[in-house]
Structure formats: C-alpha cells, structure tokens
Structure 1
C-alpha cells in the first residue's frame, strides 16, 4: 500500500494483504471473503483499500453492496468520499455497525434518504453443537424442492427487506438463480411437510472461517409454536459438519423472537453489524 492516507483500487498483487486483513475479521468480513473467493479479482469485484504507513488497514467492496471491513473513522470517511465520487451503485451498505453508520453520515447528504436503516444488528456465532436437539425433518434441499422453496424465499425477502425481489424481471431471474445455486451446492435447508415449506434457511456465505446463515423463514401460521429452534439447530449442526468451523448470522435487534431462537440454540453475540437499504 502507499504510505499516504488515500484510497486506491486493489488488484491481484494485493491478495495476500487482503487475505490477512479478512482473516482478522472472520465474521464481519465474511461477505467480502466470500465474494473474493467466488469472483476472484474480476472487474465485477471492485475492492478498494485504505492504508496507513505502508500497511493495508481497511477494505471496502463496491458493487451491488457497499461493504466496509476493518474501518476506523478515518478509513470510513475516505471510503465515503470514494463512494460519493463514484455515485450510488449499491442497493445497500452493510458491515460493522460503527463503520456503516460513519459511512452513511458522509453519504446521506449526497445520496438522499434511504428506504430503511437498520442501526444495530447483533452478529451471532456458534462453534459447538447446538444446545437444543435438531429437528430430524430438516434436510438439505434438492432441485425438486425449488418450486416449493421459491415462493417461501420470495415471502421471506419481501418481509425482511420490504420490497419484493420480483419487482422487475431481471431481479426475479437473479433471485431464482441464486436459490438454485445454493440448492445445487448443498447450502439450502428446509423442512417440507406434505409439499409445503414450513421452515427454510440457507448458508448464503461460506468462507474457511464461517458459514453464514441467511434467509431464515418459518411459515406464518406456524410461528410461536417452538418450531424454529429445533429447525435452526438442524441447520447449525449440518453446517458445522459440512461447511465451516463456525456458523454465524446477523439479525435486527428489534426481532426479539428471532434473537430468542438463536440464543436458545446456543449462539452468542460476537459483534454488531448495520445495514442501510435503498
């Protein structure tokens, strides 16, 4: 890295420094680590770095999501200036809470109001067998399950994000493609009773450090009946066995039922994220 406190676009020669930085942020940096693994140093993977004293101290992925990792206030301010110059290209800002909130303070006067700001999202993890018995009916999804899974996935996304992923044709196609990919690689889980999805979740991100679960959904008419914790325990147990040495996820701090479920499974708080949605 340059010795001046500037932001620059990173490339393949920076790979070792980036990996070291992401290894130091194994949970909060999971999104960037996963994208780097999947996309490599392609043009679609715009990764910027901030350095101090010749050392890479923070990175920020810029694309469909703006994702800072390892930022102090100075790095967040520098990345906000970079993003302001580029213009908004992302649908969200997501990352460690202090960095996202600092970025958003710098960008809000230029980008205008966000659709939603999730100020605090506890980042939870577990590295041991779950504390409740796994539901034996939760299994890895198959290609034959996709027609039933897709409506459940759309319902989950719409409930969580506030807009449907089917709002435009390109988005709908990309969303289904993503679901089919996760099914194909064994990272989609569901309990399906009589052809109806009653629970689903995916390991949306996978690194050598963690399997990050997203897309957790219980059929509305079955909520509050104690189904979620055993189902989540089944996902956690299998993900620890097949995918990574830890399982992690993040959840809105106002979602008390979900927090109770995850803590009942034995997950503990390991950090805090925040998300700005456009």
Structure 2
C-alpha cells in the first residue's frame, strides 16, 4: 500500500483568539493578570531593550491603565515575552508564536498606533503580520543602534547645560517642536495640546536639560535633551537637538556629557538612547561622549 506524505502541521486559530501551537495555546493577557513582580522581573532581564516599557512596568502597582497597556504573551503558565500597547506598539523578547498571537490580538481589537518601535528583530518580524491592518508606513527605520553608558562620560561636560525651569518654556517648547518636526516630518502640535503638556511635565520632573544663550533676537535654545523614559535603572535620552545656527561647533558631545552626569546623579545608573544609523554625526557625538552600542532598534512610523 502506498504511503502518502503526512501534512505539515500548521498553527490553528481557536475561537477564543488564542494561537494553538504544539498543543499549547499562546494567549495575550494584560499584565495585571500575570502579576507585577513577575512582569517586572521579565522586563529587567534586558533593561536597555526594555527602556520604552520601563515607566509603564514601574507603574503597574499603582496605575490601572498601565496594567491594561502592558501585555504578556503566555503559554500555559510560561511568560514568553512582553509588549507595550499604548501610543506606540513596543514588542519585547517575544518568540515567533508570541508575535503571531500579539498580531492577532491587535487586529481583533482594531488598535492603531503612532509607531511600531523596539528591538529590531522584534519589530521587523511583527511588521509583516500587521502591515495590512496598520496600513502603509510613513517611514521604515530598520537600523537604529541602541547605545548605553554606565559610567562617567569620556569628555568634560558643558557647564552651561542645566536643568530646565518653567521660565524657559516660552523658548523651550518651540525648540522641542522644531526637533520633533525635523525628526518625524510633521508638527506635534497638530495632535492637540498633549505634546506641550508632556514637555511641561518633563521640566517639572527635572528631566529636561537645556543650554540657553543670548542670540540675535534674545534668549535662544542652543542645545536641549530630555530623559524621555526612566525606569528599571535606565534613563533613556530623547529629543537631542542643537540649534541649526550652532551646529558644527562641537557643542553636542559636551552637552551630552552634561546630560549623562545629570541622569546618573538623579535618576538611573544607566543612560541609553537609540539613533538612526545614517546619522553618522550623531553617532560620532555619542561615541565621543562615551556611549557604546549594545543592540539595534527599528521604528515603523505610521
């Protein structure tokens, strides 16, 4: 009797929305179901890679919204990996079946995001699963070196870089808008007042650094940066910007050294950031300040 080749087994969709693999369902559940300490321990395995989730993970004990925004991929009692589903979608350390279950979860709920961002292998594997649901991207940034420093900067700090104050907001917010527009391609003010509130909050928390000099039209921001996320022992620097008129003068590296000192003295022993690989001048600046590459991120702008 002729033997016919067996069919290769394929994942099977359950009515519950779980993904059936190897006899065990992979489910996406909210962090509150899994437990705060367990989720925190999972994220802390690689705190630099988890930096974009860190504040949400740290807030799990007190903030019910964070418990719904931090998602966990589970197979039975095994925690496979995490994902932040807030304004951005940020996968962390999910195996292929976890990525498929997450994509199914997002599609089923009809969620939309500003970007898909995180460790490159996660983002670039998840994107094909969500491309049709999320629509065409505005830009794909597939190679963004993830950098960190856990010691004093390699160069001296700019003594003029200081913590921002509410009195700086009249010129700081326009500088932040200019940075965002230059980086992303549209003004953040088109989305309402959320961006301004975010900058004011960072100033009030001591997480905004600025150098202000006298310019042709009065006070102007020469250099600025924010500690966009702080948690799990990591402060991630975001929004680094030098006024166009002052670029090429070597101000960014000493400015970053001041940011490193401030972050490590007041917030976290590790300072991180990620940057586009094609931005060679920024990469040179960060390496000069003492950062080293520890991974690669990717961002899909939606």
Residue 252 (1) aligns with residue 276 (2): yes
Structure showing greater Rg: 2
Question: Within 5 A, what are the aligned runs for 1:58-97?
Answer: 58-97=81-120
Aligned-pair CA distance for 1:53: 5.3
Q: State the distance in 2 between where 1:270 and 1:215 align.
A: 20
- Choose from 42, 46, 52 the match for 2:64: 42
Aligned-pair CA distance for 1:224: 1.3
Aligned-pair CA distance for 1:8: 2.1
Aligned-pair CA distance for 1:165: 0.4
- Choose from 35, 40, 45 the match for 1:14: 35
**Contact 1:92/1:275, CA 8 A, preserved across alignment:** yes
User: Which structure 1 segments of 5+ residues have no match?
Assistant: none
What TM-score does the superposition give when structure 2 sets the normalisation length?
Answer: 0.86
TM-align CA RMSD: 1.5
In structure 1, what is the equivalent of residue 53 of structure 2? Answer: 32
In structure 2, what is the equivalent of residue 267 of structure 1? Answer: 291
Q: State the distance in 1 between where 2:41 and 2:228 align.
A: 22
- Choose from 162, 186, 190 the match for 1:163: 186
**Contact 2:40/2:57, CA 8 A, preserved across alignment:** no
**Contact 1:25/1:70, CA 8 A, preserved across alignment:** no
Tell me the number of residue pairs that the alignment of Structure 1 and Structure 2 aligns. 273
- Choose from 115, 136, 142 the match for 1:119: 142
In structure 2, what is the equivalent of residue 223 of structure 1? Answer: 247
What TM-score does the superposition give when structure 1 sets the normalisation length?
Answer: 0.94
Residue 5 (1) aligns with residue 26 (2): yes
Q: State the distance in 2 between where 1:163 and 1:33 align.
A: 27
Any idea what SS the aligned residue of 1:135 has? Answer: coil
Any idea what SS the aligned residue of 1:4 has? Answer: strand
Any idea what SS the aligned residue of 2:198 has? Answer: helix
